[in-house]
Structure 1
Amino acid sequence: MTNSSPTLQQVLEQARNAAYRYMVKGENSGLDWDEETTTNLMLVEVPPLVKVIPFTRLQEGGDKRLKELGAGVGADWLWWWVGDDGTSFGMLVQAKRLKKDKNEAWLIDFGYKSGKQWQDLHATANALQVAPSYALYLGSPNYRKPVECGVKNHSSDYEQCERCIRKSVSFYPSVLADGIGVEPEVAYGQSIPLESLADPQADTETPNAQEWTFGLTPELKEFMTTEAAGVPQAVAKQLVSRARERRSLQFGIAMEETLTRDDQISEDFVFQSLPPDRGHLPAPYFLQILRGLRRTPPGYVLNALNGDSAVGLDTANLAGLVVVSAGSFN
């Protein structure tokens, strides 16, 4: 880092490096590593340019709908990405680590507690009308052997591959996690490195996904096929593109309808109607992800940016709030 203000990508890279060092030390020492510590080590690297507000107690006036929906107490962090023009994207993030059994078989336990944790994540995300997502902590490249990043002529020394190192902390839309707990290599391949998540110039769509245009409105098609207008749009595009990629590999035709929604938190959605296409996925992926994209951030995000309490969140169901404001990096 220099004395000049770092870029957002540099701050995210610094956070990933902290997580990476911890995971490598855990592997080398034999003491292992865990999701909660990895998250904490990442988040202590991002202030003051990124607001991090941990929740330690129930705030008066919290969102009672979360309790009414039966959401359990969890360690999920609510992330909001806020653009210069106010456009914002909200995502509820649950951490999952890659494990290996004695036979070196991979496991990412998306179905933890017989699916109760997955249900709680979605109940809370539904109440807040944000995109449920996973932060995948994947360990060092050597820990992941023999699976690598897929680059041609891959180095035999995995820890010399920058692409593999970047994958150590990646994000993944939860709509894709249903039913693939026994195939975590699929999640690894489709996950998005932390530094790439907020890059408006990132190439988000595979050729298969680009061809899957059935049911897209002109507005949505333009959104998916042009460079992201800002950081929040980039994060939303990255996540929904992964869902489109999975959908493009499935058979079946989407319904020629659109879905609308009545949001009691904010009616300021960027997309007021979205295709209901879901294929063999557990939910309509456009709706589940892009409902998090708003023209303005919720009041509790504005409060956080102003240094005030994030009133309006039931903190018993969240570990805390992370607000990434693009304006902080100008």
Structure 2
Amino acid sequence: MQRGGFTVRVDIDTSPDDLAAAANRRQVREFAAALQALAADPRFADLHVEITDPLAAAAPREQRAALVAAHQAVARFQERRLRGWHGLLDERTATQILLDAAAPEVQYYEFKIAEEARVGADWLWVWLDPAGGCFMVLVQAKSAKAESRRFAVDLGYRSGKHKVLQMDLLLESSRVFGVPFAYVFYTGTREFRAALECAKPGCEGACQDREGVDVLWLAGLSADNLRMLTRPREWAHDVMERGLPLEDMLGSGGPLPPFHDLNLRNSEVLPEGLREPIAAPQGPAQTAARMVLSQISPIRMGQFSAVDPVAVDLPGGALFPQLPRDRGHFPVPYLPHVLGGLRAEVPGYVADALAGRTPPDWVTERLAGIVVVPPSGAAAGQQVAPQAPALPNRLWSPRQAA
């Protein structure tokens, strides 16, 4: 059949006017990529595709800068919502905006919606190193709220028909994956927080006045410590005090602060060769592991219980094959919990996602998706490690054929 030539133009807007556009832009880029593949087929030689995508044409950002931009994008959406008296974004929408704004430097692979009430976790974040190693964290998103004119977060949330504590579900999922868990808190805007009261005696709102904390991360064991030891009305204050901006998972841009740990400083418990990656981390994966541990180790230093130096085995592929089982007053041994996420190579299910293959059902049924933070200088589409070739962001159903 004879066909005349025709042109398809795709213009991608980077300033959406509605919340759905943040997710739609990613799907439009996927459609545009499919059109380009079609135009490259000799059978469709008359098809010409022209794509205008300001984000793709922009100079690559460093990964930390991409997370800063994503943090700011969420803040702008929150401001727009609050000006219209619509309240704060829900966790799922805020996360979609965050990931879309961080792309393409931060890549994400979305599965079907997981049953959060059953598994607890939202996303698996993976921080890659140039040599092929990685650090993985299960992340649960939570939004702050206003309760009787008080600034509040809920660390005791129970979900499902049986009202299971969400933190227990997260701990169980962390055992399945052999990685730590953490929270990302969407805390609104500075103006939103300033209009509310802080329940902590003597604070007078100072915690809510911090700059750059509209999107915070907090290690899961630190959050569990708050839940057990402080009053629910004070959880928001303590989260704001302990939490750090999301982008600080890669450090603050300067030298890392001094680090002290009850077990890591004991050479009889942990040899020097195993302490070095945490004391002087090299690359984003070790840095992210150090940042998570830095929120937990000071808590252990203040717990009055003897060190338990007996070693336990870590999951296969872990950078540390054995670590002390010392737990202090935490619900699990804290070093294996955190450093179990530090792997010598990328696990197969993460490599599947990076290569465009559907991960196993036990992964897709437990997660909304996987977020990959490549090392600086590795742009979307560039191979970042022999075990993990990075491809542009894509969306699929886990039931789609590999």
TM-score normalised by structure 2 residue count: 0.67
Once the two structures are TM-superposed, the CA of residue 94 in structure 1 deviates from its matched residue by 0.4
Asked if 1 retains the 8 angstrom alpha-carbon contact of 2:138 and 2:179, the reply is yes
For 2:64, the aligned partner's letter is Q
CA pair 311-47 structure 1, distance change in 2 beyond 3 A: farther
Which has the higher relative contact order, 1 or 2, with Cα contacts under 8 A spaced 6 or more apart? 1
Q: Quick one: which amino acid aligns to residue 321 of structure 2?
A: Q
Distance in structure 2 (CA, Å) of the matches to 1:173 and 1:86 = 24
Whether 1:229 aligns to 2:282 is yes
Bigger Rg, which one: 2
Q: Distance in 1 between matches of 2:264 and 2:144?
A: 31
User: Which residue of structure 1 aligns with residue 118 of structure 2?
Assistant: 72
Match 1:44 to one of 75, 100, 103: 100
Residue matched to 1:298: 347
Counterpart of 1:123?
A: 172
Establish whether residue 23 from structure 1 lines up as the match of residue 92 from structure 2: no
5 Å-filtered alignment, 1:1-330, equals 3-33=58-88, 34-56=90-112, 72-74=118-120, 76-113=122-159, 114-145=163-194, 158=209, 164-178=210-224, 180-181=226-227, 182=232, 183-184=234-235, 185-199=237-251, 205=257, 213-214=265-266, 215-226=269-280, 228-261=281-314, 263=315, 267-311=316-360, 313-326=362-375, 328-329=378-379
Compared CA separation, residues 175 and 277, structure 1 to 2 (3 A):
same
Q: Deviations over 1:34-69 (max 9, x none)?
A: 1111111101112233221111279xxxxxxxx9xx
Alpha carbons 1:90, 1:130 under 8 Å: kept: yes
The alignment-based identity, stated in percent, is 27
Q: Identify which range, 205-214 or 249-258, moves more after superposition.
A: 205-214
Per the alignment, do residues 255 and 304 of structure 1 end up closer, same or farther by CA in structure 2, a change over 3 Å counting? same
Change (3 A) 1:300 1:119: same
1:147-182 CA distance string (max 9 Å, x none): 6xxxxxx99x94xxxxx3322112111112225242
Instruction: Give 1:325 shift.
Output: 1.5
Which residue in the other structure is 2:28 paired with?
A: none
Q: 1:150 maps to what in 2?
A: none
Tell me, in whole angstroms, the C-alpha distance in 2 between the residues paired with 1:212 and 1:99.
38
Q: Which moved more, 1:111-120 or 1:208-217?
A: 208-217
Offset of residue 187 of structure 1:
2.5
CA contact (8 A) 2:311 2:323 kept: yes
Structure 1 runs, 4 residues or longer, greater than 4 Å off? 200-212
RMSD over aligned Cα, in angstroms? 3.2
Aligned positions, number:
304
- Which sections of structure 1, spanning at least 5 residues, go unmatched? 59-66, 148-153, 159-163
Task: Check 1:211–1:308 CA distance in 2 against 1; reply closer, same or farther (3 A cut).
Answer: closer
Matched residue type, 1:107: V
Tell me: CA distance 1:71–1:97, structure 2 relative to 1, closer, same or farther (3 Å). Answer: closer
Q: Distance in 1 between matches of 2:311 and 2:332?
A: 14
Contact 1:205 1:241 in 2 (8 A): no
| Corresponding residue SS for 2:118 | coil
Question: Which runs of no fewer than 5 residues in structure 2 stay unpaired?
Answer: 1-54, 199-204, 383-402
Tell me, what secondary structure is at the counterpart of 1:222?
Answer: helix
Query: Which residue identity does 1:218 align to in structure 2?
Result: E
Name the stretch that deviates more: 210-219 or 88-97.
210-219
Q: CA distance change for structure 1 residues 12 and 41 in 2, over 3 Å: closer, same or farther? A: same
Return the offset for 1:75: 5.8
CA distance in 1, matches of 2:226, 2:287: 26
Counterpart CA distance in 1 for 2:258 and 2:186 is 24
CA distance in 1, matches of 2:326, 2:288: 20
Does the CA-based 8 Å contact 2:184-2:215 persist in structure 1? yes
Quote the Cα distance in structure 2 between the aligned partners of 1:207 and 1:299.
Answer: 32
CA contact (8 A) 1:111 1:117 kept: yes
Q: Deviations over 1:95-150 (max 9, x none)?
A: 11222311425333343335432222222221111211111112222333466xxx
Q: What SS does the aligned partner of 1:328 have?
A: coil
TM-score, length basis structure 1 = 0.81
Any conservation in 2 of the 1:300–1:312 contact (CA below 8 Å)?
A: no
